[in-house]
Amino acid sequence: MEILYKPIFIKEFNKLNNDLQDEVLEKIELFKDVSNHKNLKVHKLNGKFNKFYGFSVNYNYRIIFEYKSKNEIHFLNVGSHDIYK
């Protein structure tokens, strides 16, 4: 599985404190193994984000992504629930 990072994802990631960045990187590593998707609460989004998916980093932070193909995923954004607005 290849993960590509959109510029807004990188920008928002860089704004996070170091501990949270470490947690995001840990969850991304877990995400790479499909068997972990249930534990990460990977789910399809609704409304204006209905083409995208999300998963939990922790109680407050999420990652939004899209499947470009079976083997390619684009990480679009990372942040609190405000990223859904």
Is 51 within a domain? Answer: yes
Helix (H, G, I), strand (E, B) or coil at 62: strand
Is 44 within a domain? Answer: yes
List the CATH number of the domain containing 42.
3.30.2310.20
Is 76 within a domain? Answer: yes
Is 56 within a domain? Answer: yes
> pLDDT averaged over the chain?
93
CA angle 21, 66, 8 (to 5 degrees): 45
C-alpha–C-alpha distance, residues 40 and 18, integer Å: 21
| Per-residue model confidence as pLDDT tens digits over 50-66 | 999 999 999 999 999 99
Q: pLDDT value at position 1?
A: 83
Rounded to two decimals, what is the model's pTM?
Answer: 0.90
Residue 21: which domain range?
2-80
Is 41 within a domain? Answer: yes
Is 85 within a domain? Answer: no
| Per-residue model confidence as pLDDT tens digits over 18-37 | 999 999 999 999 999 999 99
| Residue 4 β-bridge partners | 74
Q: pLDDT value at position 85?
A: 63
| Residue 3 β-bridge partners | 73
Average pLDDT over every residue of 6-13: 97
The domain total for the chain is 1
